[in-house]
């Protein structure tokens, strides 16, 4: 018999070890309590039954909404009364057209959509940065160079047509009563500025969105806008102060048991608070960003917890995010305030070295010796100095694939793989052109 999702999470947390991926994209439904169901997908959908119909949290993404609905419809045929968006990331709102389709095909009204007031402006920003968002996903999830963006599906807008927009918005907090069940919505800053976490007293349950993702918090993503670590931690502390017995994040496993939930929430909160503390005190003493990145560390034991492993985002990126939040974009190195072009520096260095090929070979030797950070600088310079050289690009592809293999986070792996593929393409080599794979696990 397969282990119930709540037994699985208890085992992972209690033993401190996950022997299978906690982020599962099964599209299968699990009942978590009487009248509460979860469908695990790239982002999950959580549903609560009420006397007036179903209340759903998130809609999953454009590619999974329909499959999630099929699973839900085998569990209940009640109408969807309300859809609450935990935040405006596309993997949470992009499946809503499947909910619209479901209502239409059964002649029922659309579910009313509730969200924080910053969600609609977020969708507007995504429309204004449509191409950029596709570039991000091509790198992060596909490991693909930008040149692959013209492939199948490239005409699809990033915010899918037919995405349901919120009809009820709130600012700080809001209580909604549906069919005799109370839903207390709380605004939180954290992964985004438009997060909603919901406390449902009847079930002693929290629907948490992405404030908890069974990975190191997505608080540093190098390609995305500002994240808010202290506000994030504060929201986790607030969740921990409820009588919660059932905790349902939008990625990873649901968790049961008050003490177990509280210890997870407090561990993530402490990790974020400690990082902010360390970075800000180093800033206060005049350190540069580069020094801080080299010096600040998260307790390695915390990074082994089954819900804090840096498999998606990672602490180094969070440090940069904290610098940007409390400082600015300049990293404190005077030459980088108004830097020379990459090509000008590369040409100068190649000449000093005695030729581009010497620079490239040195990069290869450094990579072989495990000096991957320096190796990447040198090979980028070699490629900047000789962008047409197939020989340089062959080495660059190898250096970045080696770098990729040494990384733990999906974000680093994706970006380094996309650099490798960029060079494979420049060197005329074959590589797999694949569509972005939306998965937190590799
Ligand atoms: Zn998410």
- 3-state class of 9 per DSSP? helix
Q: Is residue 157 part of a domain?
A: yes
Q: Is residue 330 part of a domain?
A: no
Q: Is residue 278 part of a domain?
A: no
Q: Do 78 and 212 lie in a common domain?
A: yes
The pLDDT of residue 439: 45
Q: Do 139 and 51 lie in a common domain?
A: yes
Convert the pLDDT of each residue in 140-154 to its tens digit: 887 777 776 766 566
Please identify every stretch of the chain with a pLDDT value under 50, giving residue numbers as ranges: 438-442
Q: Is residue 335 part of a domain?
A: no
Q: Of 252, 269, 286, which residue sits at a domain end?
A: 269
Interatomic CA distance for residues 309 and 409, integer angstroms: 9
Residue 341 pairs in a beta bridge with none
Nearest by Cα to 206 from 36, 323, 52: 36
Number of domains in the chain: 2
Distance 146 CA to ligand 1 centre (A): 23
Q: Is residue 298 part of a domain?
A: no
Distance 92 CA to ligand 1 centre (A): 6
Tell me if 141 sits within 8 A of 436, measured CB to CB: yes
Beta strands in 36-157 (DSSP E): 36-39, 45-50, 53-57, 80-84, 112-116
Taking the alpha carbons at both ends of the chain, their separation in whole angstroms is: 26
Convert the pLDDT of each residue in 225-265 to its tens digit: 999 999 999 999 999 999 999 999 999 999 999 999 999 99
Distance 60 CA to ligand 1 centre (A): 9
Give me the residue label for tokens 């959908």: 45
Nearest by Cα to 220 from 396, 15, 410: 410
The model carries a pTM of: 0.94
The pLDDT of residue 152: 56
For residue 229, count CB atoms less than 10 angstroms from its CB and return exposed for 0-12, middle for 13-18, buried for 19 or more.
Answer: buried
Distance 251 CA to ligand 1 centre (A): 7
Nearest by Cα to 90 from 56, 117, 122: 122
Distance 59 CA to ligand 1 centre (A): 11
Q: Of 238, 269, 300, which residue sits at a domain end?
A: 269
The pLDDT of residue 358: 98
Beta strands in 58-167 (DSSP E): 80-84, 112-116
Convert the pLDDT of each residue in 151-179 to its tens digit: 656 678 999 999 999 999 999 999 999 99
The pLDDT of residue 396: 98
Interatomic CA distance for residues 251 and 217, integer angstroms: 11
The pLDDT of residue 440: 41
Q: Do 259 and 375 lie in a common domain?
A: no
Q: Is residue 440 part of a domain?
A: no
Q: Of 227, 252, 269, which residue sits at a domain end?
A: 269
Tell me if 187 sits within 8 A of 232, measured CB to CB: no
Interatomic CA distance for residues 45 and 38, integer angstroms: 6
CATH code, 180:
3.60.15.30
Tell me if 279 sits within 8 A of 287, measured CB to CB: no
Q: Is residue 309 part of a domain?
A: no
- 3-state class of 107 per DSSP? coil
Q: Is residue 281 part of a domain?
A: no
Distance 71 CA to ligand 1 centre (A): 20
Domain, as residue range, for 28: 5-269
Distance 43 CA to ligand 1 centre (A): 6
């Amino acid at each position: 018999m397969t282990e119930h999702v709540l037994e699985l999470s208890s085992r992972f947390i209690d033993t401190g070890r996950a022997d299978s991926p906690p982020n599962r994209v099964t599209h299968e439904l699990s009942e978590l309590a009487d009248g509460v169901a979860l469908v695990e997908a790239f982002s999950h959908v959580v549903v609560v039954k009420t006397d007036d119909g179903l209340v759903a949290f998130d809609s999953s993404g454009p590619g999974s909404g329909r499959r999630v609905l099929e699973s839900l419809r085998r569990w209940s045929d009640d109408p969807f009364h309300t859809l609450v968006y935990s935040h405006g990331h596309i993997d949470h709102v992009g499946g809503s057209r499947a909910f619209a389709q479901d209502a239409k095909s059964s002649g029922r009204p659309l579910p009313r959509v509730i969200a924080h007031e910053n969600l609609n402006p977020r969708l507007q920003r995504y429309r204004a940065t449509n191409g950029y968002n596709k570039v991000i996903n091509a790198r992060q999830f596909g490991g693909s160079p930008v040149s692959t963006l013209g492939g199948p599906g490239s005409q699809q807008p990033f915010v899918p047509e037919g995405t349901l927009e919120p009809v009820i918005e709130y600012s700080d907090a809001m209580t909604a009563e549906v069919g005799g069940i109370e839903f207390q919505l709380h605004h939180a800053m954290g992964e985004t500025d438009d997060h909603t976490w919901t406390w449902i007293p009847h079930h002693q349950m929290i629907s948490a969105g992405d404030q908890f993702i069974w990975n190191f918090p997505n608080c540093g993503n190098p390609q995305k806008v500002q994240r808010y670590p202290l506000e994030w931690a504060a929201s986790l502390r607030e969740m921990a102060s409820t009588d919660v017995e059932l905790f349902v994040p939008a990625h990873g496993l649901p968790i049961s048991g008050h003490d177990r939930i509280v210890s997870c929430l407090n561990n993530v909160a402490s990790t974020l608070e400690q990082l902010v503390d360390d970075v800000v005190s180093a800033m206060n003493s005049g350190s540069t960003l580069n020094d801080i990145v080299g010096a600040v560390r998260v307790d390695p034991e915390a990074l082994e917890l089954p819900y804090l492993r840096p498999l998606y985002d990672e602490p180094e990126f969070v440090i940069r995010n904290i610098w940007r939040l409390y400082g600015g974009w300049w990293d404190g190195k005077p030459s980088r305030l108004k830097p020379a072009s990459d090509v000008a520096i590369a040409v100068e260095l190649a000449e000093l070295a005695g030729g581009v090929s010497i620079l490239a070979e040195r990069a290869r030797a450094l990579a072989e010796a495990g000096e991957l950070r320096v190796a990447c600088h040198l090979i980028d310079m070699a490629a900047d100095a000789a962008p047409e050289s197939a020989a340089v690009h062959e080495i660059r592809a190898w250096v970045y694939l080696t770098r990729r293999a040494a990384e733990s986070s999906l974000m680093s792996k994706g970006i380094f793989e996309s650099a490798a593929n960029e060079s494979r393409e420049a060197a005329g080599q074959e590589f797999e052109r694949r569509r972005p794979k939306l998965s937190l696990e590799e």
